[in-house]
Structure 1
Amino acid sequence: MSIGGKIRFLLLLLGICCIITALSLNNSITKKDLLLHEAAVLQQNLAAKERIVQGYLNNPAKINELKQLYKDDKLAINFINTNRVNGINVLVYKEGNLQFWSSIKSFPTNVNRLKEGTSFTQLLNGWYELVKKTSDNYTFVFLIAVKTQFSIENQYLKNQIVPELFPRNSLDLATFTDREITEIFSIHKEYLFPVKLSEEYSKNIYASIQVWLWVIGLFSICLFVNYYCSWLAKRGLVVSATLVLSVFFIAFRLSDLQFFWFNHQFNLEIFSPSIYAQSDFFPSLGDLLLNVIAVTWIALFAYTHRHQYILPKWMVKGKAVGILFHVLFLLILSAAAFLIDDIFFGLIYNSKINFDITNIINLDWISWVCILILCIVWLNVYLATNIFIELSKQLKVTNKERLIVFLTLLAGYFIYKLAIDFNVFFLVYGLLIFIIGWNNYIQFRKFSIGTFAIIFLCMAFLTAIKYIRFNDIKERSNRAAIAEKLLNADDPKVINSIDSFEKGISSGFIYCRIF
């Protein structure tokens, strides 16, 4: 075996070892161990914040600083900038009257009822650890944010332990009905609250390591298969190599979709059906990304070896067969356009993902993954078109005949759309294929800024117009669903909303003056 063959075989062994290690990590720790580990991290973070608070309350100089906050702007701003980012705020009372507050988020209803020292209580917008100390006629109440509590939850407002205290979303406050819990104590060993594993917890503390082991393992195995297929292609078996690679990736994706041996190994947001789910082949955004990567790998392999594909002699010699090949080639690209259209319509219609590219700074990483998928799909269209064009060069068909076939099919579909529902999408897509063909047949793949500018312009135009159309369809559907709910007079939510709306209008001073 050559050195190259040994290296490729070692890649296979590396992939297998990484996957076995990932599987062993999955069974190396129980839920109880994970709960204790995560709770210890939370306990440590909370203790660090309590020490900051005690550093103020146990130091006479710091106590005097707190008394001066209401009249010393620089001192107050410095306190706010230093402690608010850590989820620590303070309320200063003098003779029972609030004199200074570092935040307006929450206030205890009656500060006199709070016990001296540490306590844990629920306020209007969340759960807080309160530390109270009375000094002369001053009362200091420090608030350490523990968990948020919003009346409405969405992608921005979530009821969870605050990131300043615990950045991972693996824990939640427990109730008396929960079984597997552990307690959190103050630095003075006073009981504060119980915690449990949240519904979105990762399966173990090695979750990130496990993900990377799976990625490295699968990537190594894919590289081994790719090297083997390249070895076959160099020996003239390029069709067999392409089939082996295609069967490998198709088997990989179908087996995962059927048995969930990969995407259910870890709890990642990208594999959550609550974000996006369309069909059995696209049950999550992560599965869509993996499907696109698999197709792209096959397309890149075929594109790399496109010059090695040789058509049968009976196809090369016959002009009629050559024309039929071009017709089939254009029909396949058209079918691909319909498939892409359906996939991205489902991605917008069946998801909660933000696609507002006009506000690109506020896009989250899920939105960027969708943009990446879109770019890869357009790359696949470009690769597939070049592969078919390279195959068509072996046929006895002139460029004039190719143009006639293209314009005939385009005109036929143009007439069909005039009778059904005319739009310009297919014309722009046809222009995209025409420009790629022009670059291959006429310019002989010579790099031209103008040519590629038109190609990118066509892709961008189709993306923008389709997004506007799909988003409009989704918006109309949502409005129709809301209208149907409003027609249901027995729904208590509808009755309450209308009643609140009527009271709000009747109590509005401006509206009363107008009407």
Structure 2
Amino acid sequence: MLKKKRLILLSSIFAIGILLAMNYFVGRGHSIDKFSDPIQERINEIEKEFDEDFITLLMNNRPEDTLNFSKLIIDNHHPYFLFDASDQLVFWSNFLHSPDLENIDKSRAHQLYEDSRAIYYLRLRNVKRAESTYWLVQLYPLNYKREVQNDFLRTGLNPELFGNNRVQLFSEADALASAHLKSIKGEYIFSIRFESGYQPVTKEKNITLLVFFFSLLSLVVILGYGLVSTIWYKGKRNLAIVYSLGILLTIRAFMLFFHFPQDYFDFELFDSSKYASSWFNPSLGDLLLNTICSLIIFLLILAVFAGKSFQQKFNQFRSRFKPGLFVFLAYTGSTILLMLFYGLYINILSNSQWDLNILSIPSFDYFKLISLLIIFFGGAMYLLFSILGINLVLSGEKIEKIVALRILLYFSVPVGVFLGYYNWVYFIAFSAHFILLFSIISFELYKNIFKLGFNTFLTFFFGCLIGAVITGIASHEVFLERQLQAKVRFGTQQLVENDVMAEFYLAGIMERIKNDLFIKNTLIDPFQSNEAIERKIRKFHIINYFDQYDLRVKVFNAIGDNVIDRLSEEKLQDLRMAYIKSDNATSVRDLYFVKGLEEGFGNRYVVFIPLYRDDNFIGTVFLELRQLKIQPSAVFPKLLMDRKYNVNYGERDFDFAVFEEGRLSYSVGIFNYRALDLEMFQTNPKLKSSGIYLRKYHHLAVENEERMVVVSTPVYPVYYILADISLFFVAFIILTLLSILCFTLRNGVRNFNFNYATKLQMYLNFAFFFPILIISLIIIGLLTNSYREELHRQYFQKASLVGDNLSAVLERQAIGEADRDDFVEMVNNLAGTTNVEINVYDSEGHLLATSQPNTFDKGILTKYINPRAISEVIEKQNNRSLLEESIGELNFKTVYLAIRSSDSQQIRAIVSIPFFESESELDLLIADVLSNIANIFVLIFIIFLFVSYFVSKNLTFPFNLLTQKLKNTDLDSNEPMYWPTDDEIGLLVNEYNNMLFKLEASKKTLANTEKESAWREMAKQVAHEIKNPLTPMKLTLQHLLRLQTMGKLDDTEKLKKPIETLIHQVDTLSDIATSFSTFAKMPLPKNEIMDFRIVVQESIELFKNREKGTLKLEDKTNAVPLMVIGDDQLFGRVIANLIINGIQAVEPPKKPKIEVTLEVKDESKVVLKIKDNGKGISDDLKDKIFIPNFSTKSEGSGLGLAIAKRGVETAGGNIWFETELGKGTTFYLTFDLTSQ
């Protein structure tokens, strides 16, 4: 049967391999249809979504209704725009795109449309509402043409439609095109050409492969489980582990080699872009499967370790070595698993795109849940091995606790000292490991995992706490490592001295100045004051970031003369010769960086901006920006940051100091470097390697030949570390309880019977755990809402401050006291003061001014307001509104504030202030609340565990007392209990005491009854004892009668023996009568040394003269004395009774045949066997043979064998029998031989 199972299992496994191989090699080739069909299907879906949006619009806006934003805003799939008959935009659903109807072919309903922002699939419709005709334009972006590429904005082909950028788009049917995409009705839309290396966006969904694979996998699992279980229960556990390992390794090897399922199906869990660490763990799903397989094998191995047979073999094996060796090896193995468990967490966080700590909880997703599950499995293996490994080496050949603890100390101290010197994080993790091992030995925790009780829960909870400490410390190490790398990057960037943000902003400023018509017209107009050019550049083009720079502006005409200061002898050519050098060049053309080498001269940026009009060179704008100070708190819009610039974004909050030649040059931030002993501070060797901790800050130095930059950050709050530990502790407890629940359900709930104390402790803990969990969640929800409202209040407060200031400028502008440049200057000033980005729109939603023109110049936003702001502020007349917005992958909140005129209260402008950090700020506040609640929750939970333990002990004390009293309750001496209160326990104690009083009364009644019963019993026993001597006396007298008949009474020799027998039996009767007369008791046995052979021979001599039947004695003792201690008369009566019973067991006409055998066993015991040839004893009577008053004979008293058993056992011997129906019974008597 096993061979058949093995064959089917092997065939199924190879079938999986063949299935994957066929799909892997056959499916590697891709045809054009396989590439284009998914794109065509998606285009058709998009067309249907266009239709759904269109129908919803028509349903919300009746033909006779006037169009307004409130009704036109719907929950749409794709952006849409309405143009009137004059091609003017009247509605836009999206402020990220802005099509131009003049560039759209109105004759085509479906077409490819391209502008400066993207290439779109466009759907054009004609709509009539309120007797007016409108054009409805719906867009789906195919290719983004943004200048900025970062983590939030897409650039290139739309990844939802195309797998990669190896595709070309054509608006007309081209001969080079690979496929032509059409609408559902067959109208041509655009063409595509696939280039070499193209990969489709989605994997081909091969349902047949999926069904076959999981069918075969299910078959392998069922067969494999059955085979392994059969082998396991047959006792071949090592072979079962080998089979399990082979099955799991083979399946995993097939999946890894053929890249299943990641190359076949779109499962995010198996997406290597989310997590990938090695070929063996190419995704988080693979890591989960590998961990589960490892856990299965590990549990099987631990089950072998826990088995008694393995422990016996191990005890025999280790007897050849010193006991402490295996204790040391157990510690070493546990420590290795600690390192693997610790490294597992580091591995996940180092190779994934997410964090796993208290700060990541607001963005918790199933990737983090799977990561927690994997870490839990790793921790379970570490904990179980530590407990079972120590149990294995401490069991059998008992090693005292003090010895095991001493070895643990010898093992841990050197490791702890090394780690304490090398890395304090590792030291804390190892200290937790030491506490675990110490507790396992001291409290014998290994005794708690073999039976499910409250101590089992406490053991697992303690293991969860140790695992949480280790994981929390690992989390802190990841944080420190990332922070160290960030400091190195930041410090290196500071050493380079280039201000990447300044270069980024200057690139945009240069482009705007090149396209500024006012500057060009002013430069070539001889009647205009050229000083206006400088004012325009300073007020309009230079943003707040450059407040930390001293700006010089020079304008030169086409021949190189300074048109602002004509008396200056400084020529353009001289400036070019001085600054245009390869050493000063930057990544931006015409922008140069000049390092400040002389004392008192900071770094400078020099800009040459050539101006052209109608392709004619008309002049040059020269800008010189000299760095004065550093402003670390300046606002950096994440959307504007290209990936090449934002390497150090997010690291701008670092404090840092620059040292030159050992002297502090300058510092930025809160930390006071001047209060330090700078010489000692700079010479600390750890400052440049791992960093040092000083004054609640961590400092790290990065240096080159000329300068040293010290980067500082506040120490990571301790309560955050504790919160991480609390988070993992709660997660591990929940997963542990779920694991125990699954184990309980698998084995059957009825198989687990908890005692009252365990139930009480569990109820107490659950009664605490769930309410406080619910309360914590409620508090988190309430505080989150409170923090959200507070943030919103702060946003509105900032918006009101900006609005009040801008309102005054608009009032002045309305009466002609200020122009647009003054308004733009005020916008920039307010943005710098309030540290926010400000956009101002007119009442129709068109942009008036902005503090971040790059956002619009680079095509990130259009110059149209969010349409929902028009609805809320203009149409609904709300003074302010807070809207949730998103640009690409960035989610944020924006405040829109109406600025009204002072007289008519008409809306003159709408102020828009986006808060890009709103989501992260709220997440940080939520994490802060979570950390405090988690710490309090875990602290109270641990305290309550101890409290519940002692409370349950106190509550169960009365029951334990009652149990002990009930155990000692008998008829002799019972003491009443005392309980001080009249509660339920008091009532129970009173009932117990009443029971004792009733028991005392019953005892007297029972004593009288027992006396009467004892007299009757004695009478039966005496009668039986008298009857035994009478039988041989009767036989002897009958023998004398025969002698008389034969005339041989005169022979004295023949008369002597019978007469002696009669005298002996008369003496026995006399002894019985004497004993009965004293107190009607059986004769008290005597403990005297006797020769057991003589007793046997004398007893057999009584039955030798019996005519009916034979009696044979076989002595196998070689005639050696058989000295035993006992009563010879008692032994004689027992032997005589057994012989009589044997004779009476033979039914006529069969003659009795009694065989008596005497032998010595093991030179220490004498054995007497009395065998008859009677009818035997049936199975239903075997257990009743030695019971008093039980007899198979009608005339029997039922006391003979009972007396025999009591007499033999009183003398220290044993009596038993063997029987076979129809063949007879053999009674055995054994007594210990004495050397006396």
TM above 0.5: yes
Q: 1:322 to 1:344 in 2, by over 3 A?
A: same
Aligned partner of 1:340 in structure 2 is: 341
Q: Which moved more, 1:208-217 or 1:448-457?
A: 208-217
Structure 1 residue 233: Cα displacement: 3.1
Aligned partner of 2:140 in structure 1 is: 145
| Residue among 85, 100, 103 paired with 2:91 | 100
Aligned partner of 1:127 in structure 2 is: 120
Aligned partner of 1:388 in structure 2 is: 389
For structure 1, which runs of at least 5 residues remain unmatched after alignment?
Answer: none
Q: Counterparts of 1:16-415 in structure 2 under 5 Å?
A: 16-17=14-15, 20-25=18-23, 27=26, 30-52=30-52, 64-65=62-63, 68-70=66-68, 73=70, 75-77=71-73, 80-81=74-75, 84=76, 86-93=77-84, 95-108=86-99, 110-116=100-106, 117-122=109-114, 124=117, 127-133=120-126, 138-147=133-142, 149=144, 151-154=148-151, 161=158, 174-175=167-168, 181-187=178-184, 189-195=186-192, 199=199, 201-206=201-206, 210=209, 213-214=212-213, 217-218=216-217, 220-221=219-220, 224-246=223-245, 249=248, 259=257, 262=260, 265-266=263-264, 269-279=268-278, 281-305=280-304, 306-307=306-307, 308-310=309-311, 311-317=313-319, 321-355=322-356, 357-360=358-361, 362-392=363-393, 393-415=395-417
Check whether the contact 2:35–2:200 (CA below 8 A) recurs between aligned residues. Answer: no
Aligned partner of 1:455 in structure 2 is: 463
Check whether the contact 2:231–2:239 (CA below 8 A) recurs between aligned residues. Answer: yes
Check whether the contact 2:379–2:467 (CA below 8 A) recurs between aligned residues. Answer: yes
Q: 1:70 to 1:441 in 2, by over 3 A?
A: closer
Structure 1 residue 456: Cα displacement: 1.4
Q: Cα RMSD (Å) of the superposition?
A: 4.3
Does 2:422 align with 1:429? no
In the alignment, the residues of structure 2 paired with residue 225 and residue 463 of structure 1 have an alpha-carbon distance, to the nearest angstrom, of 35
> Which amino acid in structure 1 is aligned with residue 68 of structure 2?
Y
Structure 1 residue 297: Cα displacement: 1.7
**For residues 441-473 of structure 1, what are the alpha-carbon distances to aligned partners after superposition, in whole Å with 9 as ceiling and x for unaligned?**
454645334333222122222222311221231
> Which amino acid in structure 2 is aligned with residue 460 of structure 1?
A
Check whether the contact 2:79–2:94 (CA below 8 A) recurs between aligned residues. Answer: no
Check whether the contact 2:341–2:379 (CA below 8 A) recurs between aligned residues. Answer: no
**For residues 214-241 of structure 1, what are the alpha-carbon distances to aligned partners after superposition, in whole Å with 9 as ceiling and x for unaligned?**
4554564355445434433333332343
Does 2:829 align with 1:509? yes
In the alignment, the residues of structure 1 paired with residue 260 and residue 477 of structure 2 have an alpha-carbon distance, to the nearest angstrom, of 35
**For residues 370-408 of structure 1, what are the alpha-carbon distances to aligned partners after superposition, in whole Å with 9 as ceiling and x for unaligned?**
222212211221332344244322343233433332233
Q: 1:92 to 1:334 in 2, by over 3 A?
A: same
SS in 2 for 1:309: helix
SS in 2 for 1:409: helix
In the alignment, the residues of structure 1 paired with residue 261 and residue 42 of structure 2 have an alpha-carbon distance, to the nearest angstrom, of 28
Structure 1 residue 299: Cα displacement: 0.9
> Which amino acid in structure 1 is aligned with residue 363 of structure 2?
N
**For residues 61-83 of structure 1, what are the alpha-carbon distances to aligned partners after superposition, in whole Å with 9 as ceiling and x for unaligned?**
98754963307x4x335xx03xx
Structure 1 residue 175: Cα displacement: 0.4
Check whether the contact 2:121–2:142 (CA below 8 A) recurs between aligned residues. Answer: yes
Check whether the contact 1:182–1:195 (CA below 8 A) recurs between aligned residues. Answer: yes
Q: 1:134 to 1:275 in 2, by over 3 A?
A: closer
Check whether the contact 1:32–1:180 (CA below 8 A) recurs between aligned residues. Answer: no
In the alignment, the residues of structure 2 paired with residue 214 and residue 248 of structure 1 have an alpha-carbon distance, to the nearest angstrom, of 15
In the alignment, the residues of structure 2 paired with residue 329 and residue 361 of structure 1 have an alpha-carbon distance, to the nearest angstrom, of 41
Q: 1:103 to 1:176 in 2, by over 3 A?
A: closer
Q: 1:76 to 1:468 in 2, by over 3 A?
A: same
**For residues 166-216 of structure 1, what are the alpha-carbon distances to aligned partners after superposition, in whole Å with 9 as ceiling and x for unaligned?**
7xx75879305997842222345432233578636455331x664565455
> Which amino acid in structure 1 is aligned with residue 110 of structure 2?
T
Structure 1 residue 252: Cα displacement: 5.8
Q: 1:112 to 1:419 in 2, by over 3 A?
A: closer
For structure 2, which runs of at least 5 residues remain unmatched after alignment?
Answer: 510-541, 547-824, 835-1236
SS in 1 for 2:105: coil
Q: Which has the higher strand share?
A: 2
Aligned partner of 2:842 in structure 1 is: none
In the alignment, the residues of structure 2 paired with residue 369 and residue 180 of structure 1 have an alpha-carbon distance, to the nearest angstrom, of 44
Check whether the contact 1:38–1:170 (CA below 8 A) recurs between aligned residues. Answer: no
SS in 2 for 1:129: strand
**For residues 334-392 of structure 1, what are the alpha-carbon distances to aligned partners after superposition, in whole Å with 9 as ceiling and x for unaligned?**
12222333343233234323435544353344333322221221122133234424432
Q: Give TM-score scaled by structure 2 length.
A: 0.36
Check whether the contact 1:276–1:352 (CA below 8 A) recurs between aligned residues. Answer: yes
Check whether the contact 1:435–1:455 (CA below 8 A) recurs between aligned residues. Answer: no
Larger Rg: 2
Q: 1:180 to 1:369 in 2, by over 3 A?
A: farther
SS in 2 for 1:461: helix
Aligned length: 496
SS in 1 for 2:356: coil
> Which amino acid in structure 2 is aligned with residue 194 of structure 1?
S
